[in-house]
Structure 1
Amino acid sequence: MAALRLVVVDDHPVVRDGLRGMLGTQPDFELAGEAATGSEALTVVAAVRPDVVLTDLRLPEPSGGTLIRLLLERVPTARVLVLTTHDTDSDVLPAVEAGAIGYLLKDAPREELFRAVRAAARGETVLSPTVAAVLLARVRPKKLAPTTQLSSREREILALVAEGRTNRETAAALFISEATVKTHLLHIYAKLEVPDRASAVSAAHRRGIL
């Protein structure tokens, strides 16, 4: 089986030396090229057409998401694996949106790096735990503001509604009147900004209430 062809992009010679030494211990890896700047990376990647590009984000221009987009325009079959010290929203999101298949921090253990390179080559997404947390925080539905939090009784009613209970059945289960159930439902609809029971249940699932 042919070795995976890799290109390392980092503006620090010591980092490139370290990666060269680590990657060289793996018989299925071939370091096909290196670059210290974004412009060098574009030239090298276009010339050697690697399977995986390991790149830092903050480089002499182009860098970050712009560099990732340009690399993939040059060689669409390449997989870009970010290897950096930066894990803020402003770093992670542009890189992922630009097409990076993975995002690791430089303090990752070498075995984790090796697994990530192989996974990236297979087209699998690889994220360090801290980076995954950043992305989940952005895509996870926002919690309700304190002024729109459901009361414990409203949650009980919504849970029963989600089970398919009618207003009468819900009232019987909670030992309250059917009119009280209807009043609570109106409050729930208002807080969740929905028009009916089905929409309330759907919204509650999306927001993690149920």
Structure 2
Amino acid sequence: MNLNLRIILADDHPFVLLGVRAMLETRAGVAIVGQAVSQTSLIKLLRRTPCDVLVTDLSMPEPGAAVEDELNLIRQIHAEWPRLRIVVMSTTTNSALLRVLASDGAVSLLSKTESMHELWRAIDRRESSRPYIGNSIATLLATPREAGCERPLALPLSGMQKTVVRMFVDGRSIAEIAATLGCHRRTVTWQKREAMVKLCVTNDPSLFSCVRAGEILKFESHI
């Protein structure tokens, strides 16, 4: 069966790009339509080159740029190309970060230590609409959280996340928050979900309780 998959690759390590490209070019019906080595070049490439699947590193620091939230790239791609299938290959072992990505349900996750066979399974999802989680990532996600998340995680809430959570707890809907902040509703949903993962809550009542208990202020003190 001819897949006719158009794939873009993104990684700031040339040898990773070389290895992934070499594997994918052995697959029938696969076309590598572009490569990028930074977040900026990837966004520019996506805007001019249609593709079906993006295989990308999670962290591609820009030369001379300040350290940013590693989720910014995925958020931006989701906002501009909501139907694009994304396969993230990363070396991170930050379980909080991985839980945010996994909770979205739209990103396949792999460790760079996984085999090329695992990568292909993540890309070739003809028989499943669900994203693929590699074995190494699944093991990390299955690890119990630190002391029931009674202490702050390594990822503090961003200013945007605190604003979204406060507005939500004040009774505003996702649509109302998006309109007030001038952004897409999906962006607000992402920010709310990330905040909940960092605060170790899984539903709205728990989020309300967490905020009322002052947990956001505790996170602010660690920024």
Q: Which SS does the other structure have where 1:113 is aligned?
A: helix
Identity between Structure 1 and Structure 2 (%): 27
Residue 85 of structure 1: which of 72, 91, 94 is its match? Answer: 91
Code of the aligned partner of 1:19? V
User: Given the superposition, is the C-alpha separation of residues 81 and 72 from structure 1 closer, same or farther in structure 2, using an over 3 Å criterion?
Assistant: same
1:170 matched residue in structure 2: none
CA distance in 2, matches of 1:88, 1:121: 30
1:113 matched residue in structure 2: 119
Superposed, which structure 2 residues align to 1:132-147 within 5 Å? 132-137=138-143
Count the aligned residue pairs.
Answer: 140
2:108 matched residue in structure 1: 102
Q: Which SS does the other structure have where 2:125 is aligned?
A: helix
Q: Which SS does the other structure have where 1:21 is aligned?
A: helix
1:28 matched residue in structure 2: 29
Q: Which SS does the other structure have where 1:81 is aligned?
A: strand
Q: Which SS does the other structure have where 2:113 is aligned?
A: coil
Query: Is this contact kept in 2: 1:52–1:78, CA < 8 A?
Result: yes
Superposed, which structure 2 residues align to 1:27-106 within 5 Å? 27-61=28-62, 64-97=70-103, 100-106=106-112
Query: Is this contact kept in 2: 1:79–1:120, CA < 8 A?
Result: no
Query: Is this contact kept in 2: 1:10–1:55, CA < 8 A?
Result: yes
Query: Is this contact kept in 1: 2:89–2:111, CA < 8 A?
Result: yes
User: Given the superposition, is the C-alpha separation of residues 67 and 43 from structure 1 closer, same or farther in structure 2, using an over 3 Å criterion?
Assistant: same
2:129 matched residue in structure 1: 123
CA distance in 1, matches of 2:105, 2:74: 7
- Displacement of 1:50 after TM fit? 1.4
Superposed, which structure 2 residues align to 1:149-160 within 5 Å? none
Query: Is this contact kept in 2: 1:38–1:67, CA < 8 A?
Result: yes
Code of the aligned partner of 2:57? D
- Displacement of 1:45 after TM fit? 1.4
CA distance in 1, matches of 2:21, 2:44: 19
Query: Is this contact kept in 2: 1:52–1:121, CA < 8 A?
Result: no
Which of the two has greater helix per residue?
1
For the aligned residue pairs, the C-alpha RMSD in angstroms reads 2.5
CA distance in 1, matches of 2:29, 2:112: 21
Query: Is this contact kept in 2: 1:57–1:64, CA < 8 A?
Result: yes
CA distance in 2, matches of 1:123, 1:100: 9
User: Given the superposition, is the C-alpha separation of residues 121 and 22 from structure 1 closer, same or farther in structure 2, using an over 3 Å criterion?
Assistant: farther
TM-score in terms of structure 1 length: 0.58
- Displacement of 1:121 after TM fit? 9.4
CA distance in 1, matches of 2:125, 2:36: 23
User: Given the superposition, is the C-alpha separation of residues 76 and 122 from structure 1 closer, same or farther in structure 2, using an over 3 Å criterion?
Assistant: farther
Unaligned runs of 5+ in 1: 143-210
User: Given the superposition, is the C-alpha separation of residues 103 and 120 from structure 1 closer, same or farther in structure 2, using an over 3 Å criterion?
Assistant: farther
1:108-129 deviations in Å (ceiling 9; x for gaps): 2222211210128953211112
- Displacement of 1:136 after TM fit? 3.4
TM-score in terms of structure 2 length: 0.55
Query: Is this contact kept in 2: 1:85–1:105, CA < 8 A?
Result: yes
